[in-house]
Structure formats: C-alpha cells, structure tokens
Structure 1
Amino acid sequence: MWEWIGNSVASEAFRGSVMLLAVLVAVVSVISVKSTAKKKQTADLLFGTRSDDKLSAGYRCLQDLHKGADLNIRTLANGSEEHADKAASVRYVLNHWERVFVGVRQGIYDECMLREANYNVVIRMYDQARPFIEAVREKSQIPTYWQCLEQAVTRWRKKPLKKV
C-alpha cells in the first residue's frame, strides 16, 4: 500500500493535478482580493464625498438653478464673469462624477455599490445639469464632455433601483 502511495505521488498526473489546483487557488485568491480592494476604494469614495463641502455647495447651486426662474442654466456655459462662481460649482459636480465613472470604467470603483448609494442623487443631478452639459458641448464643439457620466446615467435608467 505504501508503495502505491509513493508511486502515485511520484506520478506526473498527480504532480500536474496538484499544480493545477495550486494555480486555481491562486487565481481565486487574486480575484477575491481585487474585488475586496475595489469595494474598499468605493466605500472610501462614498465616505469622502460626504465631507466635500464644494460638492455639497454644487448640488445646492444646481438645485437652486433648477428651481429658480431668474437664470437659465444654459447661459452659465457662455463663460460670463457675472455667473462664473455658479458655473464653477456646476462644473465641480459634473467633473466629480465624471472622474468617478472613469474610475468605474477602469475597474477602480464598484458600480453596483455606487448605484445603490447614489442612484437618485446622480440621476437628479444629471437631469438638472443636462442643459448646461448640452450648452458646453455646443459651444466647444466637443461632444465628449462628461460622457462617462452620461453613459452611466443611461445604464442606470435601464435598471432602476428596486424596493428591497
């Protein structure tokens, strides 16, 4: 019996099987670590944005512009000095989310976590800022401004959050 075990351990098939098993364990470990790291990055982002005063001010500015009747948000894209601070606030919010969704596309952030935590915020923000986005694209003749944000909103709208 011991001879059979010794011969089995020495066989090529056995060594190949052990090697394959070791490779599979390594691959599963790498995938697991990568997934955990992505979720940690996303959690750090979510907690970090809560303390971003400029982002909060940008959301308020967008909401005020959306509700107000005294200023058309499209006019902010013209670069007028009179409304430069409001335009900068809107750009700050849009640029923040564009960077986030570039990170999603590059595999840095977990889109599912972001969607669950920010679905309504992102959809509402995009809807309020859309006239500004369109005006900037028209004026600059560059259709790619905030395209990752726009693509994410399109994806998210196709799959709205469900009540848990």
Structure 2
Amino acid sequence: MELVLSFWGWLTELFGSKGFRGFLIMTGVVVAIASVISARNTARKKQTADLLFGTRSDEKLSDGYKCLQRLHNSDDANMRALTKEDKKNSEDANQIRYVLNHWERVFVGLRQGIYDEKMLREANYNTVIKTFNQARAYIEAVRELEQRPTYYQCLERAAKRWKRKPLAVLKK
C-alpha cells in the first residue's frame, strides 16, 4: 500500500509540475503545426488533381497542341512570323499563346506553392518538354519584339529543369 501511495504522490507531483505542463503545451504546438502542414500538402495535391482533370477537357488547349505540332513539323511554317503585326492575331498565333499562357500560369502557380510539382511532372513531363521545344522560336521572337526576357520564363525554367532530370522508369 505504501508503494502505491508513493507512486501516486510521484505522479501527482509530475503532472502538477511546470515542466510537464510545458511539455504538454509543446506537444500540442507540434501536433498543430504538423496538422497545418499536412492539410496544406493535401490541398496542394487536390488543386493539382483538379488542374489535371480540367485540362483533359479543354478543347482550346488540345487544339493549341495540334497547331504547335503542325507548325513545328511544317517545312514552310515560320513561327517567328506569327509575332509580326499582320499575323499576331491569327488563329495559329492565338492557339500558340493559349497553350503557352496556360503553362506559364501553371508554373507561376507552382512557384507560389499552389500545385504539387511531383504530380504535375509525372503527368505532364513529355507534354511540357515537347511544348517548350516546339514553341521556342515563337517565345524568343516574342521576347525580342517586346524587349522583355521575362515572357514565358517560368515555363522555360521548368522545362529545362525537368529535362535535366528525366522521369525514372517505373519498376514492374
């Protein structure tokens, strides 16, 4: 009985101490921080999934990819010419801008922490690399014409970064 009373006294003293209260408060703070980080990561992945599903049904984006492919593969097409005054509002120029502006907005959102880069990269690696490579002449012409090297810089930076580190082949 004396052992039980002694143990009870020790527990009462421990739970009543300032050190124990401080420990409980710190534990609560750590749990709260971990919860916020987890919720933020989950929200980022949900935003990315919404973006991925939304782009699948974007016909203008799909048409823009087809236009880029057609112009890139054409022997007589000049993408740089699409930046000139007489062609900058043509259907081809509008489609190219739509695709490039889409990806620029995505990568600005990525830089701001809205999207999850790993998910985007796994789902769009080839599309981004191919789009940037096919549109490079157009991008350079826009930058020269407007004298602004910042046009589509987030897209360019991401495409180059992703290209330096290709996707790994999944193991079976």
TM-score, normalized by the shorter chain, greater than 0.5: yes
Question: Of residues 129, 136, 158 in structure 2, which corresponds to 1:130?
Answer: 136
CA deviation after TM superposition for structure 1 residue 7, in Å: 1.3
Q: Secondary structure at the match of 1:108?
A: coil
Name 1:67's counterpart in structure 2.
73
Counterpart CA distance in 1 for 2:90 and 2:157 is 27
Aligned-partner residue type, residue 60 of structure 2:
K
Aligned-partner residue type, residue 42 of structure 1:
T
CA deviation after TM superposition for structure 1 residue 68, in Å: 1.0
CA distance 1:83–1:15, change in 2 (3 Å):
closer
1:44 correspondence with 2:50: yes
Question: Of residues 10, 15, 32 in structure 2, which corresponds to 1:9?
Answer: 15
Which segment drifts farther, 82-91 or 28-37? 82-91
CA distance 1:49–1:163, change in 2 (3 Å):
same
Is the 2:121–2:162 contact (alpha carbons within 8 Å) kept by the matching residues of 1?
yes
1:21 correspondence with 2:41: no
CA distance 1:26–1:83, change in 2 (3 Å):
closer
Q: Supply the RMSD in Å over aligned alpha carbons.
A: 1.1
Q: Secondary structure at the match of 1:80?
A: coil
Structure 1: 5+ residue stretches without partners: none
CA deviation after TM superposition for structure 1 residue 157, in Å: 1.2
Which segment drifts farther, 17-26 or 92-101? 17-26
1:80 correspondence with 2:86: yes
Counterpart CA distance in 2 for 1:81 and 1:129 is 16
Aligned-partner residue type, residue 106 of structure 1:
Q
Q: Deviations over 1:82-141 (max 9, x none)?
A: 861100000000000000000000000001110000000110010000000000000110
Which segment drifts farther, 71-80 or 16-25? 71-80
1:105 correspondence with 2:111: yes
Aligned length: 164
CA deviation after TM superposition for structure 1 residue 6, in Å: 1.3
Aligned-partner residue type, residue 64 of structure 1:
R
Q: Secondary structure at the match of 1:17?
A: helix
Name 1:160's counterpart in structure 2.
166
Structure 2: 5+ residue stretches without partners: 1-6
Counterpart CA distance in 2 for 1:129 and 1:15 is 61
CA distance 1:16–1:57, change in 2 (3 Å):
same
The structure having more radius of gyration, on CA atoms, is 2
Counterpart CA distance in 2 for 1:82 and 1:128 is 18
Is the 2:110–2:117 contact (alpha carbons within 8 Å) kept by the matching residues of 1?
yes
